[in-house]
Amino acid sequence: MTSTATNAGNTAIEQIIAKFTAGDPTLFEHMAPDIDFRIDHYRDDTDVSWQAADNLPDLMALFGRLAEEVFPKGTKALEVTTTALGNGWHLTRFQQQFFYGVRQCDVTSATYITSHEADGLLDYFRETVTTVDNI
């Protein structure tokens, strides 16, 4: 199996991240109605049990809560690197900087996203937040 870097912005995950950081609600147009979505945190005591959805309406509600509690001032992408793994699968490294509502301070965060897309729509999303460092 060979992995290759993608052409920036061509995958559903890259389009979604670009729209997410821009605060553009049309990001949901790139997601399948039956999306399997979850965010996990590595060694963090924050309750993220609510950060999962298996359909678009629930995901929209989840994003609303993220906007209020986690990203009240939005976010800025520092790095987005996506590698195609084959058969619609991608691995994305996403580094961002934002005001973290939970801690009430500015932070940087590094995450890894495993995603799958079919017919141009994201149908699987697993994000592992590896670090959230205060600035």
Provide the b/e sequence for 93-121 (b: ≥16 CB within 10 Å).
ebbbebbbeeeeeebbbbbebebbbeeee
Per-residue pLDDT tens for 73-86?
Answer: 999 999 999 999 99
**Structural domain of 102:** 4-134
Q: What is the residue whose two structure tokens read 């979604």?
A: 16
Strand 4-5 to strand 52-53: parallel, antiparallel, or no bridges (unpaired)?
Answer: unpaired
pLDDT at 22: 96
Percent of the chain with pLDDT over 70: 93
Contacts of 121 (CB under 8 A, 6+ apart): 12, 30, 31, 32
Average pLDDT over residues 106-119: 97
pLDDT at 64: 96
Is the pLDDT at 108 greater than 70? The verdict is yes
Number of domains in the chain: 1
CA 86, CA 3: separation in Å to the nearest integer?
7
The band of 2, judged by pLDDT with boundaries at 50, 70 and 90, is very low
The band of 6, judged by pLDDT with boundaries at 50, 70 and 90, is low
37: domain CATH number is 3.10.450.50
